[in-house]
Structure 1
């Protein structure tokens, strides 16, 4: 009886990883964006790794201390560690942006797909409603909604959702209109499949990648609007750390303690840059497909 030869580990997974790394090497901007997003994700998940200080602990004796080994980002006007506030604020700020973006994608995407596929009066009615919302500049619309509802986190998420629903509506609508004219839709109708089934099973699945890529492209813009509303005092309220609110708190001390505004501003800039690089990389991949 012969012994079976030992199984040789497949090199396929290793080859796929090497191929992915080679593709990233040809797109350095996408690689840099992914690395930055990975580092930001670590800060969001484990802010205690960045700073052992509490973001809410007040120590007036150490107010407005310059950056040092104990406080790398310095302290604010009541002695709180700025690094701790920026690190913990990352989770709150990015969670608000992600929640609003997801809600806008679901609502705008769903209505846009239905509008583009069905057409007719439904498309005309939904299109006119979206045009009304688009007539307002995003920051003005956000200020209006949060000003009417009040400066709360839930209201801020709702305001950002209202601002970006029209964008997802138009992307989904154009994608659904393109899909509705393709041969496979006519073939599905010819074999007796219902319109809701074609819409849910085929059209939505083909439009979904466009919506997902748009999420990454729009994330930096959502972050900018969210930070601007927080700076205006219409977002997360003190003492909860939020990048826009931290900027607002430091504006009165910009000459005495510039680090109070510089570091949260730098966090917003780096995060927006990372998201923009990844979004553009994904958009290029989608265009090539």
Structure 2
């Protein structure tokens, strides 16, 4: 089988889009709500968490393909390896970068409505996204690494709530992430240039209730999770609800993070605790002085880094 058949590129997707039939008046009305969502894909709750912070840019979706679960949309997504589970409502929208390479990804919207999935430019996006609530947003910004190479995502995401936001910023990579986004208007935000290894688990809720017998109230409510830009999570790291990991920090493999971690901090253990401050990391095996200075000059790190 030729590489053209196994790895369709953006040009082929653009041709497919051009040959799609014009939408009916009702279809056009349904799609008219999509641009308003994409001009500011991050929800109000997400914006409140990241207001004024570098490392959480809103995605620019100009030039993206706007698709949904009709025949034309399914065919275009299928050409890229993306499958929408049967029964999806047409109000659910996928914004697809035209140069995204073949990606074995399943989108399961169930019986939900008005969800938005933004898939940026990456070498590969694999895994599954399951939605059991309405009006949720998932943004995989895209990742362009050094020397023009593009990174990849391996993600299993389950959204159990209404109006939730999952966001992974530019140049963030995921070796194998299991994310559970629970609670009304909950946010799970990952800043730019993060490196998440395999078997990483991120949760904003516990999936089941813990009840105080005395007052008959649920005690384990869902809480937002925020991972700052340029954070490295080693393999088999679990990050629990309510945690904020500061910019530039790193968490050792097999750690369980139950409390927030300051910026530029190395943490390890169960539960994870800071073991060294004034520390950050590089993707390079042995970072050069120029690479180190480039990292530390980033505004979201420079504000925390001590003067040399």
Pick the TM interval, shorter chain.
under 0.3
The structure, 1 or 2, with the larger RCO (C-alpha pairs under 8 Å, 6+ apart) is 1
TM-score normalised over the length of structure 2: 0.23
- Judging by fraction of residues, say which structure has more helix: 1
Task: Select the structure of larger CA radius of gyration.
Answer: 1
TM-score normalised over the length of structure 1: 0.24
- Judging by fraction of residues, say which structure has more strand: 2
